[in-house]
Amino acid sequence: MFADRVLSGMRPTGSLHLGHYHGVLKNWLTLQQKYECLFFVADWHALTTHYDAPEIIEQNTWNMVIDWLAAGVDPSQATLFIQSKVPAHAELYLLLSMITPLGWLERVPTYKDQQEKLTEKDLSTYGFLGYPLLQSADILIYRANLVPVGEDQAPHLEFTREISRRFNHIFGKEPGFEEKASQAIKKLGSKKSRLYRELRNRYQEHGDENALAEARSLLEEQQNLNTGDRERLFGYLEGGGRIILSEPETLLTKASKMPGLDGQKMSKSYGNTIGLREDADSVRKKIRTMPTDPARIRRSDPGDPAKCPVWQFHLLYSPDEVRDWVQQGCTTAGIGCLECKQPVIESILAEQAPILERARMYEEDPALMRNIVADGCEKANRLAEETMRDVREALGLSYL
């Protein structure tokens, strides 16, 4: 019932590395060409776990936006903004909290997981418990129907869907709903009104899903309906009330294949990362000192690439002929490990070159980036307000 819209955010808790590039940013670059995209810096989310280190937020925020732009996120295709600059996120979060059963939050799998993992932090806080609800508000406020998530985040999205259903169920039943729906049907014009009623009957009396789909597309085509009437007619079709908050769908993304320097997944918490904009000498040094197959103690010992983290990098970066050369050379001790690592170093430096080039432009003129973000915040505020008008009205809060 609303236009396709993608929402995705990142917490500014540290500088981005190649794992972020391969796992998230490259996906964003594809999405921005297909859909309306909103990408945001989740600075309030960062505070849920880093409330004791507010000094990191601002610097990381600007660095992260530079990383996004440098990676190729295009502000003419996507809207870039900062969560805390759109205060309506907090308003919706608060309003949703009124109807969120505590048990729903406690059951979100990451809640206990993270508390157990991050033992050095005290996460027995209200903010941390409410983290998935804030995430729901982020999504629902833009009526974003497409949310790219990895499999581990899918329960969060399901939670958001439940919240939106609950909200619509409680607040979508406005007084005089039937009468208002009838008035809205009339606005479709006589032919389409008749068709709408016919399709609604077919769906409600016979469970005809095709009729429901046809009725929905009929409504989607209508230009002359305001949002309130549109919500009513979508809700009326299914026998419910207004659909004020839309249910998002998961855009499942493949888990990043980016290996870390030690062969585990690349992650800041494992200390095995290569920065997106790390300088060339440091990249060379990190790759050269990477562990290899422990069986290759001497240059003359043959090895097995399957037991070597460097091979994971070849799988990601190297063409077949280089991989064949590694297989052959490693298993026969025909090449040394430093030799084997050289093509990886070159591939990483080649990948970083255009990123560094674009980043330089924003580093030299930060106003350029800040203007992009200011424009993005303005647009995000406008979009959020469209939803909040309906939300406030439904909750009896639109006094003025």
Q: Which residues here bind ligand SF4, judged by CB under 6 A?
A: 292-293, 296, 303, 305, 308, 310-311, 326, 330, 335, 337, 340-341
SS3 123: coil
Instruction: Determine contact, residues 295/301, Cβ cutoff 8 Å.
Output: yes
Closer by beta carbon to ligand SF4, 148 or else 303: 303
Closer by beta carbon to ligand SF4, 256 or else 292: 292
- Could you tell me the smallest distance in angstroms from the CB atom of residue 295 to ligand SF4? 8
Token pair 């909040």 is found at 388
- Could you tell me the smallest distance in angstroms from the CB atom of residue 325 to ligand SF4? 10
- Could you tell me the smallest distance in angstroms from the CB atom of residue 329 to ligand SF4? 6
Q: Taking Cα atoms as reference points, which of 137, 117, 126 lies closest to residue 51?
A: 126
- Could you tell me the smallest distance in angstroms from the CB atom of residue 318 to ligand SF4? 11
- Could you tell me the smallest distance in angstroms from the CB atom of residue 284 to ligand SF4? 15
Closer by beta carbon to ligand SF4, 144 or else 326: 326
Closer by beta carbon to ligand SF4, 71 or else 337: 337
- Could you tell me the smallest distance in angstroms from the CB atom of residue 322 to ligand SF4? 11
Token pair 């909290």 is found at 97
- Could you tell me the smallest distance in angstroms from the CB atom of residue 313 to ligand SF4? 9
Closer by beta carbon to ligand SF4, 24 or else 337: 337
SS3 85: helix
Closer by beta carbon to ligand SF4, 335 or else 395: 335
- Could you tell me the smallest distance in angstroms from the CB atom of residue 314 to ligand SF4? 7
275: DSSP letter: B
- Could you tell me the smallest distance in angstroms from the CB atom of residue 328 to ligand SF4? 10
- Could you tell me the smallest distance in angstroms from the CB atom of residue 282 to ligand SF4? 19
Residues in contact with 153: Cβ distance below 8 Å, sequence separation at least 6, in sequence order? none
Closer by beta carbon to ligand SF4, 189 or else 302: 302
Closer by beta carbon to ligand SF4, 190 or else 289: 289
Q: Mapped to the 3 state alphabet, what secondary structure does the chain carry?
A: CCCCEEEEEECCCCCCEHHHHHHHHHHHHHHHHHCEEEEEECHHHHHHHHCCCCHHHHHHHHHHHHHHHHHCCCCCCEEEEEHHHCCHHHHHHHHHHCCCCHHHHHHCHHHHHHHHHCCCCCCCCHHHHCHHHHHHHHHHCCCCCEEEECHHHHHHHHHHHHHHHHHHHHHCCCCCHHHHHHHHHHCCCHHHHHHHHHHHHHHHHHCCHHHHHHHHHHHHHCCCCCHHHHHHHHHHHCCCCCCCCCCCEEEECCCCCCECCCCCECCHHHCCCCECCCCHHHHHHHHHCCCCCCCCCCCCCCCCHHHCHHHHHHHHHCCHHHHHHHHHHHHCCCCCHHHHHHHHHHHHHHHHHHHHHHHHHHHHCHHHHHHHHHHHHHHHHHHHHHHHHHHHHHCCCCCC
Closer by beta carbon to ligand SF4, 136 or else 312: 312
Closer by beta carbon to ligand SF4, 90 or else 335: 335
